[in-house]
C-alpha cells in the first residue's frame, strides 16, 4: 500500500487562511502586524525567497518593509539598521536574510535583533525559551513540521522519533519540539553508529541532513511517518536516474526545466513508509507560512496581547 502523502501546500494555505482573520482582527483593533526584511547583497536565491515573503505579507494584510543595503555594506552599517528597526514600535518582526555579504559578521548582526522581534527564532534567548517551554518565537521550519504532524492527526506523544541532522536551524529545535510534545527523541548525525538501524526504530523519522536521497527504504520502519526537510537540486542525468528512473512525470519535468528537486529521503522510502512529506510540496511550503505566523505571534506578545498568543 503506497504511503499517505502529507500535503504541505494545503496545510500552508490553511494556516494562511487562519492568519488572514487574525491579522484583520488585530488591525481593526489598531495593531497591524509589521515585518521588516533585510536583504544584503545580490544573492539570486535570497531575492526569490524575499519576494515570496513580501508577497505572503501582502496577501495576509501584514505591513512589510524591505531594506536592500549595497554589496559593500559593513557590519556596523547593518548593526545600525537593525538597531533602528528594534526601536520602531510598528515593526514586530525583523528577518535578516542569509547569506549576507562575505565581509559582514553575520553572527553579530543576528544577535543584534531584539529577541521579541526575532521571527526566525534563531536568537539564543528564543532557543532557551523553547528548551524551557516558555513563550517565545520558534524557528520556522521546525514549527512547520509540528503543524504537519498535528494537522495530519499523526500522534506524537509516546512515539519514538529519530531526527537525522543536528543543525541549529532544524535538527536541534525540532528535536526539542518533539521532546516537549512527549515523544522519545534520538538525534543522529555523521558519527552515529548503525544509522539505518537507529532510523528503523522511529515511528516518526525526520530527515534534515542535507544529503540528497540518503535516507532510503532500508532506513524506514514499515508504517513510519517520514518528514523530509531536504531540498536538493538535481541537474545531472545520471543523478536523476538514481532517484526517478521510470517516473514519467518527473522525466517530463526534468526534460523541460533541466533540473528537478529531491529531498534527503530517497523516493523509494514511499514503498515502506505509512506517511511522508513530498519534495517539493512538503515541509518547504510551511516555512513562509510559519514566518507569517511568527510575525503575528510577535505582535501579540510584544504589544500587550500575550493572552491571545498561541504559545
CB 72 within 8 A of CB 84: no
Catalytic residue check, 120: yes
* Residues in contact with 166: Cβ distance below 8 Å, sequence separation at least 6, in sequence order: 172, 175, 187, 188, 189
Crossing angle of helices 140-151 and 171-180, in 10° steps, is 40
Return the HEC string of 211-255.
Answer: CCCCECHHHCCCCCEEEECCCEEECCHHHHHHHHCCCHHHHHHHH
Catalytically annotated residue among 114, 118, 120, 228 = 120
Catalytically annotated residue among 7, 92, 97, 203 = 97
How far apart CA 274 and CA 226 sit, in angstroms, is 8
Q: Which residue has the cell 522519533?
A: 161
How far apart CA 25 and CA 224 sit, in angstroms, is 40
Catalytic residue check, 53: yes
- The contacts found for 299-303 with CB under 8 angstroms, 24 or more apart, are 299/26, 299/31, 299/33, 299/34, 299/92, 299/93, 300/26, 301/116, 301/135, 302/92, 302/116, 302/117, 303/31, 303/89, 303/92
Tell me if residue 258 falls in helix, strand or coil: coil
How far apart CA 50 and CA 149 sit, in angstroms, is 27
Q: Which residue has the cell 526534460?
A: 255
Catalytic residue check, 84: no
Across the chain, how many H-helices and E-strands are there? 11, 11
Catalytically annotated residue among 7, 53, 116, 285 = 53
| Element (DSSP H or E) covering residue 96 | strand 93-97
Catalytic residues: 53, 97, 120
Amino acid at each position: 500500500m503506497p504511503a499517505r502523502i502529507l500535503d504541505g501546500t494545503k496545510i500552508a494555505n490553511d494556516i494562511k487562511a487562519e492568519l488572514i482573520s487574525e491579522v484583520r482582527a488585530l488591525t481593526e483593533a489598531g495593531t497591524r502586524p509589521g515585518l521588516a526584511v533585510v536583504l544584503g547583497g545580490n544573492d539570486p536565491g535570497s531575492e526569490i525567497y524575499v519576494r515570496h515573503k513580501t508577497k505572503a505579507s501582502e496577501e495576509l494584510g501584514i505591513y512589510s518593509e524591505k531594506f536592500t543595503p549595497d554589496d559593500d555594506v559593513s557590519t556596523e552599517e547593518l548593526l545600525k539598521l537593525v538597531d533602528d528597526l528594534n526601536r520602531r514600535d510598528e515593526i514586530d518582526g525583523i528577518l535578516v536574510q542569509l547569506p549576507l555579504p562575505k565581509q559582514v559578521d553575520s553572527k553579530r548582526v543576528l544577535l543584534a535583533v531584539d529577541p521579541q522581534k526575532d521571527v526566525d527564532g534563531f536568537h539564543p534567548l528564543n532557543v532557551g525559551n523553547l528548551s524551557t517551554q516558555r513563550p517565545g518565537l520558534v524557528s520556522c521550519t521546525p514549527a512547520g513540521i509540528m503543524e504537519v504532524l498535528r494537522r495530519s492527526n499523526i500522534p506524537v506523544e509516546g512515539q519514538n522519533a529519530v531526527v537525522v541532522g543536528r543543525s541549529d536551524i532544524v535538527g536541534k529545535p525540532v528535536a526539542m519540539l518533539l521532546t516537549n510534545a512527549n515523544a522519545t527523541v534520538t538525534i543522529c548525525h555523521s558519527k552515529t553508529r548503525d544509522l539505518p538501524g537507529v532510523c528503523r526504530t522511529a515511528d516518526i523519522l525526520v530527515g534534515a541532513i542535507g544529503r540528497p536521497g540518503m535516507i532510503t527504504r532500508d532506513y524506514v520502519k514499515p508504517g513510519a511517518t517520514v518528514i523530509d526537510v531536504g531540498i536538493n537540486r538535481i541537474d545531472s542525468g545520471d543523478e536523476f536516474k538514481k532517484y526517478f528512473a521510470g517516473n514519467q512525470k518527473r522525466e517530463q519535468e526534468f526534460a523541460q526545466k533541466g533540473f528537478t528537486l529531491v529531498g534527503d529521503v530517497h523516493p523509494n522510502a514511499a514503498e515502506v513508509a505509512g506517511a511522508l512529506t513530498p519534495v517539493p510540496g512538503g515541509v518547504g511550503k510551511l516555512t513562509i507560512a510559519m514566518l507569517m505566523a511568527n510575525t503575528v505571534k510577535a505582535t501579540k506578545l510584544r504589544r500587550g496581547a500575550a493572552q491571545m498568543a498561541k504559545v
